[in-house]
Amino acid sequence: MRAGAEYFTEPGEPAQRRYEALRCYFVEEAGAEEVGARFGYSAATVHQLAAELRAGRTRFFRSSKPGPKGPRKTHTVRDRVLVLRAQDRSVTEIAGILTAEASPVSAQTVWAILKSEGLERLERRGPGGPAPRLAPVRAKAISDWPTGARYDCDHAGLYLLLPAMVELGLDELVGAARYPGTKVLTSFHSLASLLMLKCSRRGRAANAFPLGADPGLGLALGLVALPKATHLTSYSYRVARASNVALLEGLARRCRQVGLYNGEGGFNLDFHTIRHHGEEVPLEEHYVVSRSQRTRSVLTFFAQDHASTEMVYANADITKAEQAREVIAFAEYWKRVAGSDPGLLVFDSKLTTYPMLGELCARSITFLALRQRGPKVLETLAALPASAWTTYNVKRAGRYRRPQIHEQIVHLKGIDHPLRQIAIRNIGHDQPTLLITNDLVTAAKDLFCRYAERMIIENELDADISGFHLNALSSGLALNVDVDTTLTVLAGNCYRLLARKLPRYELATPDRLWRHFLDNTGTITVNHDHVRVDLALRTYAPVLIDAGFPELDIPIPWWGGRSLRFGFPPR
């Protein structure tokens, strides 16, 4: 080869390396393993690069000259896929049509495009082809229950959450919170439909069609059918923050009564930013950890009961000017719920400001917070002799069980009360970790262990993100997102009440509960005094049987005197 050929045989830039790898894969028809070994990719990455190229999402060359760029392509692969999907074509049919049109793609690529657009899979078709479209059913309350009717329900597993909704008194909570209603649907019907959508793990109201099209699911709420996405979206815009707060307060009182949580172990507090992907929205910029940048987003606040790990409070209607005072707002909220101030509040350094800490001290509310490490503080700690540090043995999972701790009383600007500063080293960080608290009694090592357990709230937020699509931002308005976060707290409590009845699933994540139990089909039979739900027999059905679900006979308040029963067909 001539001098300079190494520019092509050994590409250095990432984009050029992808180009040469795809050229080798498509033009030279080399295998994915061979291409990966040659250019430093795994075989799976090669297949992914090829799929993105087929889908039209990969571009290597752009013309720098102004003016026309030649004949314009009227339809991208993505646009064509959406057009064919609107004609009720299956992914296999769409892939075949595009291949015949000289735009070869795989069925998996077609499904990836549809999934990114929030479109569900089509129902399995029989030998006669696609079933005819059903006439849309308008959501309304059942005036005359169809005794003897039998429905095949694709979402019958969601009926397992009805006992939890009854135990929480959902209809009473919604009524007391003074949510708005319509001429056709009551406030309970509308909000419970949004809750059912949340429990079904569909992130946006736009994905509500499969629920509304299920003839057996509307019965769960006493409706002919669940409302469409249009109603659910417009309804969420009518909800005021005051109704969400009233619902959360009533929910917390009820959860205390049923023993789900009591707040005696204190609370973990944290902010979570939900990124918005649109443009020109009335949202402020906040730091999004997953993107490592500041961007338009909704800042949400969550409070978690430490002992039970249950979320007890949420607020998405927060501005930058208000965010520092949110810890005080939560303290006032809990006092209305429990009649007394909350116990120990644990949070990081960016949650609030020193004046707010001073207000917590003035109200005798105990807190434990991370303190930012300033240069002067670090210099002072570095100058301490070794004898000033005490080594402790702590019982905790993982490494770093022998922290070295130094504590002292400090006075911070804006806080009239003396605080206790706890410095911890030998826990895997280059610089000591600093904690400040107004608890002057509890042992320093116990406070260190308590703050380390604060990570639980981040784990639970991750579970809500995956289990209830918390990051699927439903609107460019924070008030609309506030409905979503409130429903996330309510859905999490319903899931937990179900988990408490299932042996060995008491601490299961929402994702696991959904996969093992709630994502199930069945048959709904309406009788004059009860509704029977016969769930399909799946791998984990014995857990439900062992938990006594076949013997349940629970009156459902919104069913006009009817009760709920479960059945499981024999193998």
In a shared domain, residues 81 and 11: no
State residue 63's pLDDT score: 56
Q: Looking at residue 408, what DSSP letter applies?
A: E
Closest CA to 199 of 144, 160, 254: 160
CB-based contact 96:117 (threshold 8 Å): no
Do 297 and 328 lie in a common domain?
Answer: yes
pLDDT of residue 319: 83
Domain-located, residue 431: yes
Q: Phi and psi dihedrals of 73, rounded to 5? A: -80, 120
Residue 402 lies in a domain: yes
Of the pLDDT bands very low, low, confident and very high (cuts 50, 70, 90), residue 282 is low
pLDDT over 70 at 356, yes or no = yes
User: 3-state class of 258 per DSSP?
Assistant: coil
What does pTM read for this prediction? 0.73
Stronger pLDDT, 89 or 173, i.e. the higher one: 173
Is the pLDDT score of 124 beyond 90? Answer: no
| pLDDT for 100 | 84
Question: Phi and psi dihedrals of 194, rounded to 5?
Answer: -65, -40
pLDDT of res. 70: 42
- pLDDT for 57: 81
Query: What is the percentage of the chain residues whose pLDDT exceeds 70?
Result: 87
What is the per-residue pLDDT for 139? 73
Same domain as 104, residue 10:
no
**161 lies in some domain:** no
Single out the residue in 463, 478, 509 at which a domain terminates.
Answer: 463
Q: Are residues 43 and 110 in the same domain?
A: no
Query: CA 501 to CA 259: how far, in whole Å?
Result: 13
For residue 570, being part of any structural domain is answered with no
pLDDT above 90 (res 461)? no
Neighbours of 553 (CB within 10 A): 10
Interatomic CA distance for residues 220 and 564, integer angstroms: 9
Which of 463, 478, 508 lies at the terminal end of a domain, its last residue?
Answer: 463
In a domain, 253, yes or no: no
Q: Distance between CA atoms of 520 and 536, rounded to whole angstroms?
A: 7
Burial label, 342 (beta-carbon count in 10 A; 0-12, 13-18, 19+): buried
Where is average pLDDT lowest: 117-121, 147-151, 462-466? Answer: 117-121
Mean pLDDT of 152-159: 92
Span 154-166, average pLDDT: 95
**Residue 202: pLDDT above 80?**
no
Would you place residue 458 in the very low, low, confident or very high pLDDT band (cuts 50, 70, 90)?
Answer: confident
Distance from C-alpha of 280 to C-alpha of 267, rounded to nearest angstrom = 36
**Domain that includes residue 86, residue range:** 77-116
Q: What local confidence, expressed as pLDDT, does residue 133 receive?
A: 45
| Nearest residue to 426 (alpha-carbon basis) of 398, 391, 450 | 391
How much is the pLDDT for 325? Answer: 94
Residue 447: inside a domain: yes
Question: Residue 428 is part of a domain; what is its CATH number?
Answer: 3.90.350.10
Q: Is the pLDDT of residue 72 over 50?
A: no
Q: Give the range among 56-65, 127-136, 149-158 with minimum mean pLDDT.
A: 127-136
User: Contact at 8 Å (CB) between 260 and 493?
Assistant: yes
Q: Do residues 355 and 305 share a domain? A: yes
Query: What is the per-residue pLDDT for 571?
Result: 57
Percentage of the residues of the chain whose pLDDT score is greater than 90: 45
Higher pLDDT, 391 or 90: 391
CA 100, CA 499: separation in Å to the nearest integer?
Answer: 50
Could you tell me the two tokens for 367?
Answer: 């807190």
Q: Domain tally for the chain?
A: 3
Give per-residue burial for 351-362: e unless 16+ CB within 10 Å, then b: bbeeebbbbbbe
State the pLDDT at residue 453: 84
Backbone angles phi, psi at 16, to 5 degrees: -65, -35
The residues that bridge with 409 in the sheet, in sequence order, are: 420
Domain membership of residue 259 (yes or no) is no
345-347 and 267-275: which strand pairing?
parallel
Show Cβ contacts of residue 379 under 8 Å, excluding neighbours closer than 6 positions: none
**Are 247 and 490 spatial neighbours (Cβ–Cβ below 8 Å)?**
yes
Overall average pLDDT of the 224-230 stretch? 86
Same domain, 50 and 104: no
Is residue 519 in some structural domain?
no
Task: Mark whether 20 and 97 lie in a shared domain.
Answer: no
Distance CA 158, CA 154 (A): 10
Question: Do 81 and 12 share a structural domain?
Answer: no
Q: What is the pLDDT of residues 13-49, one digit of tens each?
A: 888 888 888 988 888 889 998 888 888 888 888 888 8
pLDDT on residue 246: 96
Question: What pLDDT, on a 0 to 100 scale, did the predictor assign at position 82?
Answer: 81
336 shares a domain with 380: yes
Q: Which residue has the tokens 């004898």?
A: 387
Top pLDDT among 519 and 457 is at 519
